[in-house]
């Protein structure tokens, strides 16, 4: 008898290998002053030669989550994504070598030098001197040396403007360098027309300069772009190849909400923008326009080009364990059983990095859980641990143990309740169709939906004093000034008394009020849930009725909607999460004390736990939390299930009148 865990594809004849597409990769030290100008130049050269293009900026990265703020007031290592080892950069590079016919150009030394040599990759240029680099590169190219040299200035501020000129360089096929290197200009200028863009003379006050100039450039080349890369220079530079390939215009400002306001007319027809948040209010401002936000970091993923050639082969032969029958769920209800589960939010493609540590923890503990993803995540199914979702546990995989839920608007995240209903509806349905096409049909789509904030945000009062219980602590909370208030006219940081206090040993007594500490979720919103159901989902997790008893939201036929019953309000996206083991224990005590059937449902913001820079510090605690829940909690009476089973159980409890219900409106 055949093993049900064996995939049909494994016993089918292997197809003839397809011709691998050509790929030119630029390797450059992240601190090289010309990296972004060179990246834009090599981008158009690759296109002219009929090649795909990618870049990799070598650097030391801390691997932590950068949640926003002013980039020049942050350790640069915190801005640059995942660590080389923890984020599996070498493994990802080996996949690139396997799937593409690669050539390389090195603007100096690279960590991949030995691997390039071992793989026999043609290195077309290798020099830290930008003039020598260009000459080597064009010597091996059929493309004619450009007639114009573009020198891109800094704009007299702390923010590099160079990546925001990428479409100017690409569309005009210019040779570009960064300003401030007179030696490079002198070496390259002979025989060329020299143009200057954004010289060092201040055009306007500090932080306004990058916003005005990047938006002006975006509008200049709007005919060749279809979306935006809303990102600081570290992100914008690292993602130049994808921005050129996909037609994204890089823009940036302080605050970014002001840039969103300048682009309102254009955003009316754009469903998703890419980039990195400067503040969680960016989500709210974009959501009001009906535009979702897909987040990326430098090097997350390390080679985005892999999403272009995903080798997913469908899921028709996936092994899945039997689910409890309706009769069994009714017996659980009569017995007063409390089921438990966790949903891990790892939906932005920058959070694919989280899956390495998360897969290990889930595999070790056996926790049945949910994984909330956006449609873009599925493009990397065969190049990340997402592939384990199609492999049964007896073979080392996670199939049947983890429910996948499609998150928010599908293509990206938004505060769904703040978006125009028709825009949210259209984006979600388009994303579902995209995932169905990738997975091989609607039969393989996720059954569940996860929302960022599907309920309306209502005003609430936030305390200026925060008392922590584990460990016991007291913090005084303050309202941070707008980021623009920290800038002088030249764009340099301005120190004040409050800042000096917070940077002193007394600083541990203070904590900023978060962007949404003054809000709480209202009731379930019918328009959002109707869109979720019409997109084909069978169950949904709502942020409404948070901190209440287990509650089933009604009003949408065919959709089981359940609330979170464990965790705390965070004051920023994704709003309601588990912060430590204490959150789980308190929820268990409260639920069992009620002597009623129900569910313990909590969420984990995975990047804060399993990004490569956080895993060593917090991974053990997360593993202990998962093991605790998988083994039944402190009491041994919690029954661990997947979110899909919890939602089915909630529907049964509602039909039997054993659970609290509220009507969506």
What pLDDT is attached to residue 205?
41
The span from the first CA to the last CA of the chain, in angstroms, equals 53
Are β-strands 22-29 and 52-58 bridged in parallel, bridged antiparallel, or unpaired?
parallel
Least confidently predicted of 103-107, 177-181, 220-224, 391-395: 391-395
Q: What is the DSSP letter of 413?
A: B
- Taking Cα atoms as reference points, which of 429, 424, 422 lies closest to residue 537? 429
As a residue count, the chain comes to 665
Is residue 592 pLDDT above 50, yes or no?
yes
Beta-strand relationship, 472-478 and 510-512:
parallel
Binned at pLDDT 50, 70 and 90, residue 300 comes out as: very high
For 425, residues 6+ apart whose C-beta sits below 8 A from its C-beta are 531, 534, 535
Asked if pLDDT for residue 4 goes beyond 80, the answer is no
The CA distance from 490 to 615, in Å, is: 39
- What architecture is domain 326-458+518-663? Alpha-Beta Barrel (3.20)
Please check whether residue 170 is in contact with residue 244, taking contact to mean a CB–CB distance below 8 angstroms: yes
Instruction: Report yes or no: 493 and 635 within 8 Å, Cβ to Cβ.
Output: no
Mean pLDDT across 425-435: 97
pTM as predicted: 0.93
Contact 344, 607 (CB under 8 A): no
Quote the distance between the C-alpha of residue 26 and its chain's center: 24
Which of 655, 663, 644, 533 is closest to 599 using CA atoms? Answer: 644
- Burial class of residue 505 (count of CB atoms within 10 Å of its CB; 0-12, 13-18, 19+): exposed
3-class DSSP assignment, residue 423: helix
Taken in order 356, 361, 363, 369, is the CA torsion positive or negative?
A: negative
Burial label, 374 (beta-carbon count in 10 A; 0-12, 13-18, 19+):
buried
Residue whose tokens read 């891990």: 344
Section 244-267 average pLDDT: 94
Would strands 465-469 and 457-459 be described as parallel, antiparallel, or unpaired?
Answer: unpaired
Task: Name the burial class of residue 25, with classes exposed (0-12), middle (13-18) and buried (19+) by CB atoms within 10 angstroms of its CB.
Answer: buried
Q: Which residues pair with 149 in a beta bridge?
A: 175, 194
- Strands of the sheet with 148-152, listed across from one edge: 175-178, 148-152, 193-197
Report d(CA 333, CA 329) in Å as an integer: 6
Type and span of the H or E element at 217: helix 206-220
Cα gap 618→622, rounded to integer Å: 6
Alpha carbons 568 and 590: distance in angstroms, whole number: 14
**Residue 574 has which token pair?**
């994704």
Task: Tell me the mean pLDDT in the region 184-206.
Answer: 81
Rounded (10°) CA dihedral 78, 80, 85, 88: 130
Cβ pair 277, 350 in contact under 8 A: no
Share above pLDDT 90 across residues of the chain, in percent, rounded to a whole number: 77
Work out the average pLDDT over 346-360.
Answer: 97
Is the Cβ–Cβ distance between 246 and 222 less than 8 Å?
no
User: What's the pLDDT band for 186 if we cut at 50, 70, 90?
Assistant: very high
Q: What is the pLDDT of residue 298?
A: 97
Q: Exposed (0-12), middle (13-18) or buried (19+): which is 379, by Cβ within 10 Å?
A: buried
- Residue for token pair 């450059």: 28
Looking at the predicted structure, is the pLDDT value of residue 6 above 70? no
Beta-bridged to residue 297, according to DSSP, are 300
| Average pLDDT score over residue span 360-367 | 97
Q: Residues 63-80: what's their mean pLDDT? A: 92
User: For residue 515, what pLDDT band results from cuts at 50, 70 and 90?
Assistant: confident
pLDDT of residue 498: 61
Task: Output Rg (C-alpha) for the chain, integer angstroms.
Answer: 26
Cα separations (Å) of 549 from 82, 564, 579, 586, 599?
39, 9, 19, 13, 9
The average pLDDT across 222-239 equals 97
In sign, the C-alpha dihedral spanning 56, 58, 64, 69 is: negative
Determine the Cα–Cα distance for residues 60 and 299; give it in Å rounded to an integer: 11
Which residues are CB-neighbours of 468 under 8 A, at least 6 positions away?
Answer: 474, 475
What does the alpha-carbon distance between residue 283 and residue 415 come to, in Å, rounded to a whole number? 7
pLDDT, tens digit, 9 for 90 and up, residues 86-128 = 999 999 999 999 999 999 999 999 999 999 999 999 999 999 9
Domain ranges of the chain: 22-308, 326-458+518-663, 463-512
Residue 558 scores a pLDDT above 70: yes
Amino acid 206: pLDDT:
46
Q: Residue 467 pLDDT > 80, yes or no?
A: no
Residue 499 is predicted with a pLDDT of 62
CB 309 within 8 A of CB 335: no
Express each pLDDT in 376-386 by its tens digit.
Answer: 999 999 999 99
Residue of 509 and 443 predicted with greater confidence: 443
DSSP-derived secondary structure for 486-548 = GB-TTS-B---HHHHHHTSGGGGGEEEPPTTTTEEE-SPPHHHHHHHHHTT-SEEEESTTTTS
Q: Are 368 and 641 in contact (CB under 8 A)?
A: yes
Residue 2 is predicted with a pLDDT of 40
Using H for helix, E for strand and C for coil, what is the string for 163-210? Answer: HHHHHHHHHHCCEEEECCCHHHHHHHCCCCEEEEECCCCCCCCHHHHH
Residue matched to tokens 């801390």 = 62
Handedness of CA 125, 128, 130, 132 (dihedral sign): negative
Question: Residues 407, 372: contact at Cβ < 8 Å?
Answer: yes
What's the rounded mean pLDDT across residues 149-167?
A: 89
- Mean pLDDT of the residues in the chain: 90
CA-wise closest residue to 247 among 310, 302, 176, 167: 167
Helix (H/G/I), strand (E/B), else coil: 647: helix
Residue 411 CA from chain centroid, whole number: 11
pLDDT at 208: 59
């Amino acid at each position: 008898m055949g093993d049900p865990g064996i995939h049909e594809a494994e016993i089918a004849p292997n197809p003839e290998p397809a011709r691998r597409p050509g790929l030119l990769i630029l390797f450059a030290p992240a601190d090289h002053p010309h990296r972004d100008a060179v990246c834009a130049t090599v981008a158009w050269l690759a296109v002219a030669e009929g090649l795909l293009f990618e870049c990799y900026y070598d650097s030391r990265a801390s691997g932590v989550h950068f949640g926003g703020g002013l980039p020049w007031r942050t350790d640069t290592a915190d801005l640059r994504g995942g660590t080389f080892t923890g984020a599996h950069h070498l493994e990802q590079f080996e996949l690139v070598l396997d799937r593409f016919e690669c050539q390389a150009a090195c603007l100096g030394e690279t960590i991949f030098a030995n691997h390039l040599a071992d793989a026999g990759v043609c290195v077309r240029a290798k020099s830290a001197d930008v003039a020598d680099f260009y000459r080597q590169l064009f010597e091996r190219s059929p493309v004619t040396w450009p007639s114009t040299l573009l020198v891109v200035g800094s704009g007299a501020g702390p923010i590099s403007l160079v990546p925001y000129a990428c479409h100017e360089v690409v569309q005009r096929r210019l040779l570009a360098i960064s300003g401030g290197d007179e030696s490079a200009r002198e070496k390259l200028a002979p025989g060329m027309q020299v143009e200057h863009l954004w010289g060092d003379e201040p055009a306007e006050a500090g932080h306004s300069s990058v916003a005005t100039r990047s938006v002006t450039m975006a509008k200049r080349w709007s005919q060749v772009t279809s979306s935006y890369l809303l990102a600081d220079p570290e992100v914008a530079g690292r993602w130049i190849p994808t921005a050129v390939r996909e037609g994204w215009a890089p823009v940036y400002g302080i605050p970014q909400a002001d840039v969103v306001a300048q682009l309102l007319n254009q955003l009316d027809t754009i469903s998703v923008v890419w980039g990195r948040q400067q503040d969680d209010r960016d989500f709210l401002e974009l959501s009001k326009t009906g535009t979702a936000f897909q987040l990326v970091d430098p090097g997350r993923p390390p080679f985005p080009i892999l999403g272009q050639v995903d080798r997913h082969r469908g899921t028709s032969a996936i092994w899945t364990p039997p689910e409890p029958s309706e009769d069994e769920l009714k017996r659980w209800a009569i017995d007063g059983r409390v089921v438990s589960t966790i949903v891990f939010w790892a939906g932005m493609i920058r959070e694919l990095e989280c899956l390495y540590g998360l897969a290990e923890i889930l595999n070790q503990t056996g926790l049945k859980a949910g994984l909330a993803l956006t449609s873009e995540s599925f493009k990397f199914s065969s190049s990340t641990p997402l592939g384990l979702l199609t492999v049964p546990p007896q073979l080392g995989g996670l199939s049947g143990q983890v429910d996948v839920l499609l998150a928010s608007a599908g293509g990206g995240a938004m505060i769904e309740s703040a978006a125009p209903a028709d825009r949210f509806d259209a984006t979600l349905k388009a994303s579902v169709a995209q995932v169905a096409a990738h997975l091989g049909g609607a039969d393989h789509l996720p059954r569940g939906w996860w929302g960022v904030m599907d309920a309306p945000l209502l005003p609430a009062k936030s305390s200026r004093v925060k008392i922590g219980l584990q460990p016991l602590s007291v913090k005084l909370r303050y309202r941070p000034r707008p980021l623009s208030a920290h800038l002088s006219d030249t764009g340099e940081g301005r120190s004040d008394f409050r800042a000096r206090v917070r940077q002193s040993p007394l600083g541990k007594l203070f904590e900023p009020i978060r962007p949404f500490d003054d809000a709480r979720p209202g009731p379930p919103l019918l328009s959002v849930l109707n869109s979720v159901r019409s997109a084909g989902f069978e169950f949904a997790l709502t942020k409404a009725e948070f901190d209440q008893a287990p509650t089933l939201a009604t009003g949408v036929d065919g959709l089981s909607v359940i609330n979170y019953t464990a965790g705390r309000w965070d004051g920023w996206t994704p709003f309601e999460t588990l912060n430590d083991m204490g959150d789980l224990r308190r929820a268990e005590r409260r639920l069992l004390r009620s002597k009623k059937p129900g569910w313990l449902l909590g969420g984990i913001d995975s990047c804060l736990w399993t990004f490569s820079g956080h895993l060593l510090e917090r991974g053990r605690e997360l593993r202990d939390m998962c093991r605790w829940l998988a083994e039944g909690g402190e009491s041994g009476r919690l029954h661990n299930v997947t979110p899909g089973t919890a939602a089915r159980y909630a529907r049964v409890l509602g039909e039997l009148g054993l659970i609290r219900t509220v009507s969506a409106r």
